Amino acid sequence: MQLPLSLKIRTDASFENYYPGDNQLVYQKLIQCFEEKKSGGSIYIWGEKSVGKTHLLQATCLLAGEKELTSAYVPLSDFKSFNVQILDGLETMRFVCVDDVDAIHGLEEWEEGLFNLYNRALETGNQLIFAASKNISQSSIKLADLQSRFSWGFVYALKSLCDEDKKIVLQERARSLGLELNDNVIHYLLNRFPRNLTTLFSIIDDLDKASLITQRKITIPLIKQWVDVSYSSE
């Protein structure tokens, strides 16, 4: 797997530990990309924060590496840390995953850079995958041709998991750390704290440390005692 500069991806962001819930369509679409010959085009995934967009993009890069295919992950939320030339030559990568597209909306140089990358990738037949927080029609893209290009490919609104699905995901996360979370604990977490998985995963990681220190099982009293109050939604 090849990544531009030193942009890092999480090694735990895999397809195996992604729970699709109602997002089976985009999940299967991404897996299918590995079964097809080069065809080019794009996949545009949009949705609110913490619904799993970054996970899917990074999982694509991880699977590409396992299959000895080239890939690139570019988080545009960090665009100030590099320049638009980072996009040069990415069309040679089998999978190009561009995250946080919203971050460069209205920036002429970056919008033109993505537009040119899209056109070059069409010629090479490699796969472009974009992630953003808003649908294409609701975005603030100034370059009409870029907005049009995004619309050419597969567009999918990533849905948040329901509480029952979040329960499954949280229990799996806990089990991966050697913890067990009963239904009462899950219910407490979902009702006491922000429901996005990024925050809930961080809480579970903190509870793992607390459990190791206290040698106690994860219970509601332990949560009240050890979890930072800054997590609380109240």
User: Do 67 and 125 fall into the same domain?
Assistant: yes
pLDDT at residue 46 in the model: 97
Write out the two tokens for 171.
């229990």
99 within some domain: yes
Is 18 part of any domain?
no
132 in the same domain as 183? no
Question: How many structural domains is the chain composed of?
Answer: 2
- Read off the pLDDT of each residue in 128-157 and give the average, rounded to a whole number: 94
Percent of all residues in the chain with a pLDDT value above 90, rounded to a whole number: 64
CATH value at residue 72: 3.40.50.300
Reported pTM:
0.84
State how far the Cα of 170 lies from the Cα of 173, in Å rounded to an integer.
5
Same domain, 123 and 31: yes
What are the tens digits of pLDDT across the range 180-230?
899 999 999 999 998 888 888 889 999 999 899 999 989 999 898 888 655
Same domain assignment for residues 48 and 108: yes
The torsion defined by the Cα of 60, 64, 69 and 74, in degrees rounded to 10, comes to 40
From CA 142, how far away is CA 140, in angstroms rounded?
A: 6
Which range is most confident: 18-22, 127-131, 173-177, 200-204?
Answer: 127-131
Q: Which of 17-21, 52-56, 95-99 has the lowest mean pLDDT?
A: 17-21
**Interval 31-79: pLDDT, tens:** 999 987 766 689 999 999 889 999 999 999 999 999 999 999 999 999 9
Q: Are residues 117 and 188 in the same domain?
A: no
| Mean per-residue pLDDT over the chain, rounded | 89
Is 91 a domain residue? yes
Task: Note whether 131 and 100 are same-domain residues.
Answer: yes
- What CATH number does residue 219 fall under? 1.10.8.60
Secondary structure (DSSP) of the chain: ---STT----TT--STT---TT-HHHHHHHHHHTTSPP---EEEEE-STTSSHHHHHHHHHHHHHHTT--EEEEEGGGGGGS-GGGGTTGGGSSEEEEE-GGGGTT-HHHHHHHHHHHHHHHHHTPEEEEEESS-GGGS----HHHHHHHHHSEEEEPPPPPHHHHHHHHHHHHHHTT----HHHHHHHHHHS---HHHHHHHHHHHHHHHHHHT----HHHHHHHS-GGG---
Domain end, chosen from 157, 172, 201, is at 157
Whether residue 1 is contained in a domain is answered as no
Sheet holding 71-75, edge to edge: 71-75, 95-99, 127-132, 42-46, 154-157
Question: Domain check: are 43 and 89 in the same one?
Answer: yes
Mean pLDDT of 125-135: 95
Q: Given pLDDT bands bounded at 50, 70 and 90, which one contains residue 7?
A: low
Residues 117 and 192 in one domain: no
pLDDT of residue 10: 75
Enclosing domain of residue 221: 163-231
Instruction: Tell which of 131, 157, 183 closes a domain.
Output: 157
**35 & 149 share domain:** yes
